[in-house]
Structure 1
Amino acid sequence: MNTDSTISSLLGPAAPELGWVPAPRYLMRRARIRHLMRNLPVGRLLEIGPGAGALSVEFSQKGFQCEALELSVEARELAQTFIRKFRQNIPIHAQPDTGWKSSFDVLCAFEVLEHIENDREALEQWASWLKPDGRLLLSVPAHMKLWNARDEWAGHVRRYERASLQKVFWGAGLEIETFECYGFPLTNLTERISAPIYNRDIYSGGETSDDDRKRNNDRSGIDRSPDLKTYPLLRSIPGKLALQVFAIVQAAFINTDLGSGYIVKAKRR
């Protein structure tokens, strides 16, 4: 294993030499996901849109029999390399398998649904891959009032409101068990700070064509260029202490709508 590839209980897996490190928003989301998964029995798990595969690596290390579905060639190649570095055996599929119906104990889709035009149809398909009483964990960006240049850059179709997301879940035959609004106040702040960077990428020289937007959409879950510069601070002692504080603060506000993202845990009806 490359010595640059590290894993810690607070930051999770990182591989700066591959261009992927955890971002603050990801870490706030990860903290809540780990909390929601703590009592789930290990079993067969599918992650849709795993990005670099960091969470799949952690799920696998916890004993889950992990697989992933990743349509982006660029993301799939990175995830395969990333997963090998952490010595996990996680098949990554380029297309859904026709034999997946009622096959998985857990299905995860983090920051994926907002990219899909027909979100209810997608959620219905994902739910069909769960075993009876299987669990789905999903995250999406929250509040259209927070729409910014990164949403446009990443190819998002929408940000969600609580009521609209609940409606999609019920329509897809899923019973919501936990509904959290995560990230406050850190992710609200980091989104605002990073928006001008993405705005410049879109409008100041090159990200203008449909092909460019499609390419950005495909790599939106793996592009960590801005975060590579700040990662040394993030993994410093002051940075880790700050993250711990923000994780505690966000936990106090998960039942409000103050954060910038939603995390839902649901079961197949």
Structure 2
Amino acid sequence: MHDTIRNQLEQDGYVVLEDFLRPAECDELVEVALEFTKQVADANPKPIFSSVDPDQLQLKDAYFMESNDKISYFFEADAVSPNGELKVDPSISLNKVGHALHLLHPIFRCYTYSDRVKRVCRELGLNEPSVVQSMYIYKNPGVGGEVVPHQDSTYLYTEPIPPVGFWIALQDASISNGCLWIVRGSHKSGVHRRLLRNPDKESKQALIYDKPAPVYPQSSFTPVPVRRGTCILLHGNVVHKSAHNQSDSSRHAYTFHVIEKQGNVYSDDNWLQEGPNAPFLNVYTTPQIV
């Protein structure tokens, strides 16, 4: 099993692990996420997250930049009117919650530092795997926005060993409701683009891309529909995306990223940085309960 998972990640850039979570465990996380939506219905302002528009709020707002050690809430662009009012029911208004669920929320912490995650990290041959961020992704019906083709290393650059993403479907992910599409083997072509902290402190944009967005042919993508409870491991350099959810069913997922700390460098140009309240904790030695 050790060689199977590691070899497949190195060969294809991703690995599908079915039944990573049981149905009841998925339901527990979904229930927590729906509670989040009740807490933020009257929030003002309502920070928007969009991967499609690089000028959206997240690239210049302190709320995003300072979310490394908090549980922060980001809304769908299609859910908020120009005057900041919700256009949809609060239960389907959020795009994501991040980026310190794994540290601060007891239930998400329990699953992130579980024996299952430890076992996978060992099978990948990681010596000091450390979690750097976590996100709950809603992908709500009708308003669940497109995630454009990207590599996780664009945002969480490490060298020489790329990060690994754990993407866990908490509801069935189908082509109609926005499952992942992946370019098999694309991780072998290096990092195509990076998002960097802007060295120009006078600029309104805290973050900038070092290159224009690459263009990937649609024919190179393979859809990866999965049942709830499935974990997709993503090599940091593999190109992947998901479409706008135009169905009537949501596609909730929990995702977090692990880096190798031993003999590896986490770039100080990355938007997210380790801090006293957001340490990159070792998966093997971190307790599930504080």
TM-score normalised to structure 2 length: 0.23
Higher helix share: 1
Give the number of the structure with larger relative contact order, counting CA–CA contacts within 8 Å between residues 6 or more apart.
2
TM-score normalised to structure 1 length: 0.25
